[in-house]
Amino acid sequence: MADNLPPSSTGEVEHLRAQVAALQEQLSRWQNLIETANVLVVDLNADGTIRYLNPAAERVFQITRDGWAGRSLLGFLAAEDRARAQQAFLEAIQVRAPSLMFQCRVQSPQTGEFYGLWTVALRYDDAGNYSGASATAYDVGPIEQARREAEASRAMLQLVIDSLPQAIFWKDRDSRYLGANRRLLEDAGIASLADIIGKADTDMPWVEQAPLYRADDLAVMEHGPKLNIEEPLTRVDGTQIWLRTNKLPLVRDGEVIGVLAMYEDITEERRQANELRTFKALVDNAPDGIIVADTNQVITYANAAMLDMLGYQSLVGMPAQAILPPQTLQQMPELTRLALAGGKANVQVDYLRRDGATITVNAAGLAVFNESGQLIGFATINRDISEQLRLEEERRRMQEQVIEAQQAMLRELSTPLLPIADQVVAMPIIGTIDSNRAAQIMETLLEGVARYRARIAILDITGVRVVDTQVAGALMRAAQAARLLGAQVVITGIGPEVAQTLVHIGAELASMIAKPNLQEGIAFALRQRNGDRAMVGV
């Protein structure tokens, strides 16, 4: 028939045949490409049923060419992803979108999980109604697995740095936070790591310190690490703590991209250091001599007062035996025992000065333990009482002279009250005691105790020959009244006859101290007073 066509028509037919052949060849190539591709190719009807699956899709869906016709694509998707995929389709069709992209899994018992990145081209008819779709899916499972592994590694790293007691953070070149651990988030009052990303110190509770931190960041990025920076930080609750911060340049491929930093809270450490400096200043400048030795009795510290007391420039490194005379060395085992028992050994000991002279001190010794309860040495606080002892001896001689003079006066006076020393009064009583004189004794005694602020009152009855119920009652009332004013009553001069009378009438003298004579009563009172003062002084 073509032979009967005009020449022009014959040429057109040949041209059309060539075009058809070319299209068939091109279609064959595309079909071969689709059929052999590892990419899933799916064509869908408007109702979502499958019009075509390429072999790769058939392998993943585990279905043959005869089995997929008319089946819904959603039926092959993982159950957890179906609703999300369907919603993505509906939203795209609703706005007449030409295409959409989403990730969705295909679950197959034979091939396992296929994690696909789906690209869908939507078709619409001339009226704009959805008429079908063509889709391809690439296996992004390895990429997703790598992402999951990276996320797991990131989570593990975050767990590690969150477990550290120090705060760790890193910033970009503009000092904006790129990451941090739990400790920094707690100080900032931020619950989530995502909430700190991109923020600067000016956005934090420590905004007042922001210029200081920025200056440190710039110096680190410009010049290198800065270590052991001590700086303040204001926490979210308004409290200020002190930090020891270390900062390093954050480097990637040879380029400084920010700052990596770590800090620890040294507030308590600084408090203890300040407290230690305060106590050291107190000890260094204490008027009493303080000396410390280790467990081998080697001196490790002596303050200025101790050095001045013994005439040395330094005692550190010397054995303690070098400054202790034999009599003090004999006391050391007992003093050590008392100190280890947890008490303070308050004793009178002697020291050897550098010039060979001996000084006497009141020493309070104690054992020193570390935080673990281990013995690390002994400390002694020493007060030089050499001059005090000299004065006391002089005072004793003077008191003896006073007592002799008082004894002469007592023979002439009936009820005098004599202040014989600071806070010590004595009342010698001579003759018969009647009711009037008993009242006078009490009145004089109480006025004297109050006037001289006496702590010890001596009642001497050497000159009282007759003691009956009336006399005993008067003495008891006077003693009780004096005790109400804070004075201790010492009664002296009780003779054999008086003692028998007191026992016979049942006089209660337990609240009073009895001495055989006035001299011993005064000596006792002075010892009591000096003992009280020494205890207060130590």
Is the confidence at residue 158, as pLDDT, over 70?
A: yes
The answer to whether domain 290-388 has CATH 3.40.718.10 is: no
**Predicted pLDDT of residue 109:** 61
Task: Give the Cα separation of 138 and 40 in Å (integer).
Answer: 7
**Predicted pLDDT of residue 305:** 92
Q: In what order do the strands lie in the sheet with 513-515?
A: 418-421, 424-430, 456-463, 488-492, 513-515
- Percent of the chain at pLDDT above 90? 40
* CATH class label, 415-536: alpha beta
Burial profile 346-377: b = 16 or more Cβ within 10 angstroms, e = fewer: ebebbbbeeeeeebbbbbbbbbeeeeeeeeeb
Q: How does the average pLDDT of the chain come out, rounded?
A: 86
Strand-strand pairing, 112-124 and 40-45: unpaired
Least trusted range by pLDDT, from 102-106, 259-263, 278-282, 466-470: 466-470
Confidence of residue 412 (pLDDT cuts 50, 70, 90): very low
Residue 174, C-beta contacts closer than 8 angstroms, at least 6 positions apart: 200
Strand-strand pairing, 513-515 and 488-492: parallel
**Predicted pLDDT of residue 410:** 46
The CATH superfamily holding the domain 34-140 is PAS domain (3.30.450.20)
Which of 421, 440, 417 is closest to 523 using CA atoms?
421
Confidence of residue 507 (pLDDT cuts 50, 70, 90): low
What backbone torsions phi and psi does residue 97 show, to the nearest 5 degrees?
-70, 140
**Predicted pLDDT of residue 334:** 83
pTM: 0.49
Task: Give the Cα separation of 294 and 382 in Å (integer).
Answer: 17
**Predicted pLDDT of residue 159:** 87
Long-range CB pairs of 226-230 (<8 Å, 24+ gap) are 230/266, 230/270
| Mean pLDDT score, 258-266 | 95
Which of 224, 181, 174, 221 is closest to 201 using CA atoms?
174
- pLDDT single digits (tens) 427-480: 888 877 777 778 888 888 898 899 999 999 998 888 887 777 777 777 778 888
- Fold entry, domain 164-269: Beta-Lactamase (3.30.450)
Is the confidence at residue 1, as pLDDT, over 70?
A: no
Q: Tell me which amino acid residue 429 is.
A: I
Q: In what order do the strands lie in the sheet with 112-124?
A: 50-53, 40-45, 130-139, 112-124, 99-108
Residue 306, C-beta contacts closer than 8 angstroms, at least 6 positions apart: 289, 290, 291, 315, 382
With 0-12 CB in 10 A as exposed, 13-18 as middle and 19+ as buried, what is 213?
A: buried
Residue range(s) in the chain whose domain bears CATH number 3.30.450.20: 34-140, 164-269, 290-388
- Half-sphere CA count of 464, side-chain side, radius 13 A: 30
* SS3 category, 506: coil
Region for residue 483 given its phi and psi (left: phi exceeds 0; alpha: psi -120 to 50; beta: otherwise)? alpha
Task: Give the Cα separation of 424 and 421 in Å (integer).
Answer: 5
Task: Give the Cα separation of 48 and 133 in Å (integer).
Answer: 8
Which of 330, 338, 333, 328 is closest to 360 using CA atoms?
328
**Predicted pLDDT of residue 279:** 86
Q: Tell me which amino acid residue 210 is.
A: A
Confidence of residue 536 (pLDDT cuts 50, 70, 90): very low
- Cα→Cα distances 528→184, 400, 479, Å: 64, 17, 18
Which of 270, 269, 290 is closest to 280 using CA atoms?
290
- What is the full DSSP assignment across 331-371? HHHHHHHHHHTTS-EEEEEEEE-TTS-EEEEEEEEEEEE-T
SS3 content of the chain, % helix, strand, coil (to 5): 45, 30, 25
Strand-strand pairing, 456-463 and 424-430: parallel
Tokens describing residue 110: 């034979």
What backbone torsions phi and psi does residue 385 show, to the nearest 5 degrees?
-115, 15
pLDDT top residue among 529 and 241: 241
- pLDDT single digits (tens) 483-500: 888 889 998 988 777 777
**Predicted pLDDT of residue 110:** 62
Please report the beta strands in 203-335, taking only residues with DSSP state E, as ranges in sequence order.
Answer: 226-234, 240-252, 255-265, 289-293, 299-302
- pLDDT single digits (tens) 362-411: 988 888 998 888 999 999 999 998 888 888 888 888 888 887 776 545 44
What backbone torsions phi and psi does residue 347 show, to the nearest 5 degrees?
-140, 170
